[in-house]
Amino acid sequence: MPTELPAQSRAQRALRSHLLRSRIAGVVSTSRERSLSRYRMFVAGDPRALLGLEPERDWRLGDLLQLMGRKCGVSADPGHTSGQDVIDPDRTIVALSAFAERLAAAAAAAAPVLIGTGHPHRLLGFYAGLAAGLSAAGCTVLRPAQGRSVDITTRFGVRTYNLDYVRGVALVREPGARGCGSEPGVHTHSPLPLRVALGAAMDGDGPLPAMVVGDHGWVCGAGQLGIEALGLADADDPAPFVGQAEGRVSVVVPLDDTVRSDYYRPLTRYVLNRACLSQ
């Protein structure tokens, strides 16, 4: 546990209860075996775990465990090799508060913001709520490169997807696919959709973003390129936390990114209220 945490408000106590009840934090669905496997991939420099980040230092497994223990609350003991991982809900709340502060600053400056997710089936609603709040506050929520193709290497080989925007949130779809309900798109960790979007912005398809909000390759890819980046990350994705530790990612919120999409609504409300962006 952190040595010091600020006293929690009533809203934070309610949020903490929700995080534990929904298993967004506390004992989460991410297995210890999967987390350790991903940590080893990161240490080995596997692009699937780097998510577009190029670490400045040589991270060893022990160092990474210590970092993830401090940032997420997972066990830093290398001898702990099985069972379910644990995310400290208090760390999640502290990070959500910092996340809200950065959004408030972007809103105050009317900064152009790019929002993207590799988890559209779970997190689209969370990000769409932020997009609406930022837009209402005068920020331009960017949509560069809509419809452009993106070639992404997957375990099935190179697949071509199309970059699309739903309620202000960037995601990728299978070619020819159309949105279905509120959760379209495919899961990806790749930074390539971000790079395609930024390339289009540089070519005149809107301004470059002052901030990128997202997960996976969106947040790591933006941080690597020197753009302010903040987002969400699970306990088995060390790259955003390393980016934060090395000063290239502003805020990373530790949470389970695979629970039901409606379970993230209280997090959206908390962030918008804290940032004074509620509509």
pLDDT in tens, 71-115: 999 999 999 999 999 999 999 999 999 999 999 999 999 999 999
Q: Per residue in 50-71, pLDDT tens?
A: 999 999 999 999 999 999 999 9
Distance, CA of 80 to CA of 116 (rounded, Å): 34
Would you call 2 exposed, middle or buried from its count of C-beta atoms within 10 A (0-12, 13-18, 19+)? exposed
DSSP tag of 26: E
Element holding 273 (H helix, E strand): helix 265-274
Cα distances (angstroms) measured from residue 189 to each of 54, 62, 66, 116, 239: 15, 24, 23, 11, 11
**In whole angstroms, what is the distance from residue 186 CA to residue 117 CA?**
10
Q: Are 135 and 112 in contact (CB under 8 A)?
A: no
Q: 178 falls in which pLDDT band (50, 70, 90)?
A: low
Q: Return the pLDDT at 184.
A: 73
Distance of CA 177 to the CA centre of its chain: 24
CA-to-CA distance for 179 and 165, rounded, in angstroms? 10
Length of the chain counted residue by residue: 279
Residue 279 has pLDDT above 70, yes or no: no
List alpha helices for 51-157, DSSP H. Answer: 61-71, 89-108, 120-136
pLDDT at 35 exceeding the cut of 60: yes
110 and 98 in contact (C-beta within 8 Å)? no
Give pTM, 2 decimals: 0.93
Q: How many CA atoms lie within 13 A of 243 on its CB side?
A: 35
